Every structure is written in C-alpha cells, then in structure tokens.
Amino acid sequence: MSVGHAAAMGTPDMPAPKSLSDDGLVTELGRAQQQRRRWEAHEAGLITEAERRGLPRRRGFGSTTAWLTAISGEPGSVCRRQVAVASALENMPATREAFCAGEVSESKVRVLAQAQALAPEQFAADEKILVDQVKTASAQQAPRLVAAWKRQTNPEGAEAEAERLHQLRALHLSEGLLGMLHLSGDLDPESGLIVRHALEALADPTNLNPADGRTPAQVRADALVDICRSHLDGSNGGRRPSRVLVTIPWNTLQQGEGLVDTEPGPIGAATARRL
C-alpha cells in the first residue's frame, strides 16, 4: 500500500481526511501541527545529546551539521538551523518546555533564541513572560513582541542588531528559463518599509478595476516595473506618493536617536523623522 493511499484510508490515530467534517478537519490539522512541534522538540533533544556524546565526530564528520545533513538528507541550511535551535534550548528552560508541549513552533523558538543571545541574564528573568506572550501571538506579532523587549532591555544592542541586519541586505538578479528575470534577496526592516509601501501604493486593491484579473503577485510585479519605468522616465508619473504612519516618542523625536516601531519592523529615528 502506498503512503498516499494509507493516508487517504486513515488509521486509528490518523483519521482519513475525507472522513472529517469541516470543523473536524480544522481540529485534526491543529492536532497534527502540535504533534509536529513536539517531534521537532524531541529531535532537538536528540541532536543535543548526540553533540554531548561527540557522536558526529566519532562517526567521522567535521561538525554536527555535516552529520545531520548526511543522515537526514536535508539541506545544510536546514540542518544548521536545527543544530542552532537545539543548542539555544539548553539555556532556555521555559521555551524548551513549551516547545516539547507543542505550544510554540520552531520559528518562534528561533525568535526567542535571538533575544536570549542579546541579553542572557535579563532573558532568564523574563523568559516565562515572553514565552506566554509568544504562545498566543501570530507569526507576524511574535517578532515584534520580542523586538520591543530587546529595545527596552538593551537599546544599544538593539541598534547594533538593526545595523547588522542592514549589512545583510542583498538583491540578486538572474535570468531563468525563457528569459524570465528571477529576483531574490533580503532587506532590513527600514529598507523593507520603503519598498513595501511603494509597492502597496500602486497595488492597493481599492485603486484597481474590479474586473482586473491579475493575481496579487502579478499586481506587485507590475507595480515594481512601474516604479522602475517612472525612474527611467525621470518622473514619478503623477502618482500619489505613499504614506507611512509612524508614532514617534517625544524624546526620540527630540534626540533623533534610537529605534521607532512600525508595522513591518523597527526603523532608525532619523529615517522616521524624514518620513
């Protein structure tokens, strides 16, 4: 029997998807996600123990990542991330407990691990509160919650991290099949805010014809081309400039230093004042 056929038929522990009601399908999906998180936490524990025993090097591998890549068949980047999570959990007992219970995802664990690395002592004192907040936060809200904690706990470290993210910025262009141009890259929150709002100003559904059959991704692609074409034409095309709502604390506005919260992420005070 194939794996796909077995999944369709179901087992006592895993009912066949087609046999479930709509509500049952949602409930079962939530249960599956929780179990996956618990297995990821268990896997992290196994990786930690293997590293403690020196098992990867005894098996002839130069690192735990190389060993995990060999036995799992996953890409090195994925295994490197798993090893980093396993290592971080050693100093994060409340996070580890929530992870093992399936209450937080691996992505949220990574966000918390970044906070722990920035200010270990303060994180140890605040960990349980942070974990409780992150548990119920959405994937978009969790990084913002932790980022706010970072700025309050270690403002200088938070600014240094913002600069580090800026240094990681990159944009890659490559020609794909049939001459299609492939774009990939990363922008720091400040630069990302500018790009996001420029694209949204042109791709806002309220400004589009209801009969427009383009997908959201196609609309954004066309918006990027419009921006570039306007630049080459030496004008803004008469389009309305994008607007960004930024709330700046009074002392930050006066001093022009520190970071300011925006929806996509923190930006420098100087940039916020320009906006």
| Residue 74 backbone phi and psi in degrees, to 5 | -85, 155
Tokens of 214: 């383009």
Tokens of 12: 């006592």
Distances (CA, A) of 1 to 4, 7, 68: 8, 10, 30
**pLDDT one digit per residue (tens) for the chain, 275 residues:** 444 554 555 555 788 999 999 999 999 999 999 999 999 999 999 999 999 999 999 999 999 999 999 999 999 999 999 999 999 999 999 999 999 999 999 999 999 998 998 889 999 999 999 999 999 998 888 988 998 898 888 888 778 878 888 899 999 999 888 889 999 999 987 788 789 888 988 888 887 888 888 898 999 999 999 999 988 887 554 555 555 566 666 666 666 666 666 655 566 666 666 55
Tokens of 248: 């700046």
Tokens of 2: 């194939």
Q: What is the pTM of this model?
A: 0.61
CA–centroid distance for 176 within its chain? 26
